[in-house]
Amino acid sequence: MGSLPQKMSIQVKSADPAEIREQGLIRRVQAGEKQVFYELVKPYERRIYSAAFAILRNEAEAEDAAQEAVLKALTHIQQFRADARFSTWLTQIAVNEALMKRRKAHTEIMEPIGEREEDDGTYTPRDFADWREIPSEVLERKEIRQKLADALSALAEKYRKVFVLRDIQHLSIEETAEALGISRASVKTRLLRARLMLRDLLAPGLGGAFFSRLPFEKGTKPW
């Protein structure tokens, strides 16, 4: 299956009780106890859903992609290697599933931002207005979340994948590099671009109407 990560050699360094329990569950599922697979997946439900939503920015499609990813992981559980991290493997499947779904849907009407840019070129920020930190409470508002998802979706795939794995899934630079099959340097460069592009994309809206009800200081942008 093309969308399944073929190679994963991230070593599990620590051996805390949760990881030991997880490894036990994996062995049971691999031995045929498929009914315990949900226990294995449950801690990562949000993670795989968020990975799918970040790419598809549609709740129903993201849920479907997440479910497909879980079913695919169950089907191919024998391919999972004991020295890999299950959460990373599962996340990769979810990312691949969402990307595949997105390509099928032909949702990229406009050219993604950064598609033609090379990794080693310098990205110059566009907005230098005064900024301040945004409280996480803004995420209670669904329209803010949707704007953030829309901005992420506008990025070229190579930047979006790195950003999703690194900043949403909180994988390390090494894990992200391993998962995508690219170098650490490429991860860093793409991540920088993704972050700066998102910042510029969100500046116009988040600087004005989106935060009109928030108590920002006069004359400053929240973004």
Tokens of 122: 């310098």
Any contact of residue 65 with other proteins (CB under 8 A)?
no
* Per-residue contact string for residues 158-177; x = within reach of other proteins by CB under 8 A: -----x---xx-x--x----
Stretch that binds other proteins, among 20-28, 52-60, 109-117, 211-219 (CB under 8 A): 52-60
Q: Length of the chain in residues, anyone?
A: 223
Q: For residues 27 and 132, which CB has a smaller minimum distance to other proteins in the complex?
A: 132
Can you tell me which of 6, 11, 124, 212 binds other proteins, judged by CB under 8 A? 124
Q: For residues 59 and 83, which CB has a smaller minimum distance to other proteins in the complex?
A: 59
**Structure-derived torsion over alpha carbons of residues 49, 163, 173, 117, reported in degrees to the nearest 10:** 150
What is 104-151 written as a DSSP string? HHT---SPPBTTT--TTSPPPPS--S-B-PPPGGGGGSHHHHHHHHHH
Query: Tokens 């995508």 correspond to what residue?
Result: 180
Q: For residues 25 and 198, which CB has a smaller minimum distance to other proteins in the complex?
A: 198
Give which of 206, 200, 196 is closest to 163, Cα–Cα.
196
- Amino acid at position 33, single letter: E
Beta bridge partners of 113: 155
φ/ψ (deg, to 5) at 82: -65, -25
Can you tell me which of 16, 118, 140, 217 binds other proteins, judged by CB under 8 A? 140
Site residues for other proteins per CB under 8 A: 34-35, 37-38, 41-42, 45-46, 49-50, 53-54, 59, 63, 66-67, 70-71, 74, 122-125, 127-134, 136, 138-140, 145, 148, 152, 163, 167-168, 170, 173, 188, 191-192, 195-196, 198-199, 202-203, 221-223
